Structure 1
Amino acid sequence: MSDQPSTSTSGTRRFRDRGQILGLGGMWLAKWALCLVLIAAGGWVVWNILGYLWVGVLPVLLAIVVSTVLWPPTRAMAARGVPQAAAAGITIAAFLAVLAGIVALIVPSVVDQSPELANKASQGITQVQDWIKGPPINLQDDQIDSAVQAVIHKLQASAQAIASGVFSGVSAAGSALVTLVLVLVLSFFFIKDGPRFLPWLHGVTGGRAGRHFEAVSIRIWDTLGGFIRTQALVSFVDAFFIGLGLVVLGVPLAPVLAVLTFIGGFIPIVGAFVAGALAVLVALVAKGWTTALIILIIVIAVQQLEGNVLQPVLQSRTMKLHAVIVLLAVTVGGSLFGIIGAFLAVPVAAVAAVVIRYIGEQVDLKLEEGAGTEPGPAVTNENDDEPGSAGLATAEAEAGSA
């Protein structure tokens, strides 16, 4: 008797032993393992190519994110008869004016209040040293000096690593200024020629593939735009309430800290934490423990409002990403590309989620189209050797198909 599984006229397969079933399962597992290995190899190749082309890839990614913000006013002006190029130019000019205004707001405050803040910090350090010398710690001056020198040496040794981590993403493009210029130029062309992209994509990929590319592109654009608008709203709420608390309590550099809170809000979870910690630290140095504790309560309350109300309600409509995925994306992006990586991590994760969801929808559509047209193969019991069992299975299959 042959060891191969028998097949009846109705397509029913009968297996003689467990080895045949395990063999089929092993072949299925091996096939998918090979597919995963090939996909991983392809991803590794693409990753290395992006590494070589990072000088050009980084400005393009940043320009796409910026374009999602600048596109709505450009579209509104174009709808009112303004030429597309003029609308894009006006939008870019307004964007530069906003950036210049932010810089003009920050720099004078830092210049005017930094000496006072430095004096407060020096007084705070002296108070801490006096407290450490007293009971119950009772440290001597030489012990304090050695500890301070150890901290200074540690900071000096880590300075290069800290700087390289902060500017690792930007240094690949040469400098922050070059990157900014490229981002602005690319953003201008993106919002100027954006409506031509989908027709061009159809012409390159053809009608069948172009339909899928168009659907995915529209979803990605909507997701990125929704992410930026949501983060801007959440960051504004954080900056407004925390900045209001800093102003009311008379904490120095309140406008600067509010702007940093707004910018930090675009790095989910991590950015808000760092900005809040910096505000508490400045309040501690400048105003003492009581003011710092009040600022800490304000920061915690605002972040609870953000984390439990604003982000779940707003981001669930745009990105639909779990908080764990957001945190992991920010951690991986920050460790690989510094601040730029942390900023781009969530948009990249959201884009990947959009593509995965679209693929899942297409798979579900194919399953729905094929449901009921082809009856699945029936598998008989492995010990079913009684005469007439094949005929019974055939009758059951025919009855099920009827």
Structure 2
Amino acid sequence: MIKIFQTWLERYFADEEAVLVAVILVVGIVILASLGVVLAPMIAAIIIAFLMQGMVLKLKSWGVYHNVAVSITFLVLTSALLLCMLFIVPAFWRQLINLLNETPRMLVQGQQVLLLLPQKYPALVSEMQVKELIDALQIEMTQWGQSILSFSLAQLPVLVGVLIYVVLVPILVFFFLKDSEVMLAWLGNTLPSRRPVMTEIWREMNLQIANYVRGKAIEIVIIAGVSSVIFSILGLQYALLLGIAVGLSVLVPYIGAAVVTLPVAMIGFFQWGWSNEFFYVMIAYGVIQMLDGNVLVPVLFSEAVKMHPVVIVLSVLVFGGLWGFWGVFFAIPLATLCKAIINAWPTVSNFGADNKTCIQDEDAAGKAP
């Protein structure tokens, strides 16, 4: 057993760069697990700067100076934040409060619908089963309400921290955008000069992960905006709330669309019942999902890595369980990163081939006049 383990170590950790990559990964995971809350503003700023870097590069490709490009990008970011804080967030909060106030009425209406099931389908559902289901739902809703109340009271001190983040994160984003090249150069100087594994992983991140993350952010904004507008036109209550939910559902492929269908259908049913308006809303929702999957996704993610659905779902479950919302958001990029590390990881054979190539280059250089 010891010999097998020793052979495995010699095969995958013979190269010093492999050891360095493993150490960096372990240290990074430990830092995120232990100091994730403390470093949350900086992590959020890095993520936002990563998303906005594409705009800076595009402006620079048009001949705009670096500092001017950074200033324009930062102005766009702050304008979007102010727009959200002044218009979208208050409307979202009002609709959320209204929904919570309307929840008891919806529950009573839902109970009335359930009580009609034994009369319409006596062979499938009994009155006892419906009562047991109603009692279980009441207990669950009571616990849910208590959880919301305790959560809201416990999070009151966090509001001060949120205000600090609103000021601190944009400042950090500005400096990350302005001095990104200097920071990357400093980081490169701390690493070995010959680092083919890290270079390959970084190339994979730039070509695929960056495009995926920026494309996913654009997809969320487009789907949320279109859904909110269409729901408002159709007269659906809580249109902004449901539109944002539909936009965030694209974070979880295959599962998000199915999960968010339930609140859309429930709100529509409680508002109109089995009427034409209800079916219009569901048809519109289906068209949005169809256009998202067949038009928007191919346009935004033409260079994205094709992964098996099982791998995608597994990545969402694992990284979402570890890091919550950001784990879900970066599930596919993190899975792509893991794939890039596995593909680029040096083994004994690769290490020997690299050494042989280096020796041949050195011999050729020595024989040159």
> In the alignment, residue 331 of structure 1 is paired with which amino acid?
L
Alignment correspondent of 2:307: 321
> Which aligned pairs between 1:301-312 and structure 2 lie closer than 5 A?
301-307=287-293, 310-311=296-297
Alignment correspondent of 2:51: 69
> In the alignment, residue 190 of structure 1 is paired with which amino acid?
F
- Between 1:300-309 and 1:91-100, the stretch displaced more is 300-309
Alignment correspondent of 1:205: 191
> In the alignment, residue 30 of structure 2 is paired with which amino acid?
N
CA contact (8 A) 1:121 1:285 kept: no
Q: C-alpha separation between the residues in 1 aligned to 2:181 and 2:55?
A: 14
1:287 partnered with 2:263: no
> Which aligned pairs between 1:159-170 and structure 2 lie closer than 5 A?
159=148
Q: C-alpha separation between the residues in 2 aligned to 1:202 and 1:194?
A: 12
**Cα deviation, residue 236, structure 1:** 4.8
Considering only CA atoms, is the larger Rg found in Structure 1 or Structure 2? 1
1:347 partnered with 2:311: no
Alignment correspondent of 2:206: 221
> In the alignment, residue 269 of structure 2 is paired with which amino acid?
L
Alignment correspondent of 1:375: none
- Distance change in 2, residues 1:283/1:99 (3 Å): farther
- Distance change in 2, residues 1:46/1:35 (3 Å): farther
Alignment correspondent of 1:31: 7
1:99 partnered with 2:81: yes
Alignment correspondent of 1:50: 32
Root-mean-square deviation over aligned CA pairs? 4.7
- Between 1:356-365 and 1:243-252, the stretch displaced more is 356-365
> In the alignment, residue 242 of structure 2 is paired with which amino acid?
L
CA contact (8 A) 2:114 2:130 kept: no
Q: C-alpha separation between the residues in 2 aligned to 1:302 and 1:100?
A: 28
**Cα deviation, residue 192, structure 1:** 0.5
CA contact (8 A) 2:257 2:289 kept: yes
Q: C-alpha separation between the residues in 1 aligned to 2:337 and 2:166?
A: 23
**Cα deviation, residue 227, structure 1:** 0.9
Q: C-alpha separation between the residues in 1 aligned to 2:325 and 2:241?
A: 19
CA contact (8 A) 1:223 1:351 kept: no
- Between 1:135-144 and 1:337-346, the stretch displaced more is 135-144
- Between 1:338-347 and 1:109-118, the stretch displaced more is 109-118
Alignment correspondent of 2:231: 246
- Distance change in 2, residues 1:309/1:361 (3 Å): farther
CA contact (8 A) 2:236 2:268 kept: yes
Match of 2:345 among 351, 359, 370: 359
**Cα deviation, residue 300, structure 1:** 4.0
* Per-residue Cα deviation, 1:46-81 (whole angstroms, up to 9, x for no partner): 533432232454444433332232123333445667
* Per-residue Cα deviation, 1:119-159 (whole angstroms, up to 9, x for no partner): 86555444433444555355799989855642333324654
Alignment correspondent of 1:155: 144
- Distance change in 2, residues 1:27/1:149 (3 Å): closer
**Cα deviation, residue 189, structure 1:** 1.7
> In the alignment, residue 237 of structure 2 is paired with which amino acid?
P
Aligned residue for 2:330, secondary structure, equals helix
- Distance change in 2, residues 1:110/1:322 (3 Å): same
- Distance change in 2, residues 1:366/1:312 (3 Å): farther
Equivalent residue pairs, number: 340
CA contact (8 A) 2:231 2:239 kept: yes
Any unmatched runs of 5+ in structure 1? Answer: 1-24, 372-402
- Distance change in 2, residues 1:263/1:216 (3 Å): same
Aligned residue for 2:303, secondary structure, equals coil
CA contact (8 A) 1:238 1:306 kept: yes
> In the alignment, residue 48 of structure 1 is paired with which amino acid?
V
Q: C-alpha separation between the residues in 2 aligned to 1:280 and 1:370?
A: 64
- Distance change in 2, residues 1:175/1:324 (3 Å): farther
* Per-residue Cα deviation, 1:368-388 (whole angstroms, up to 9, x for no partner): 9969xxxxxxxxxxxxxxxxx
- Distance change in 2, residues 1:336/1:198 (3 Å): closer
Alignment correspondent of 1:400: none
> In the alignment, residue 153 of structure 1 is paired with which amino acid?
T
Q: C-alpha separation between the residues in 1 aligned to 2:134 and 2:76?
A: 52
> In the alignment, residue 150 of structure 1 is paired with which amino acid?
I
CA contact (8 A) 1:65 1:224 kept: no
- Distance change in 2, residues 1:326/1:162 (3 Å): farther
Q: C-alpha separation between the residues in 2 aligned to 1:116 and 1:85?
A: 45
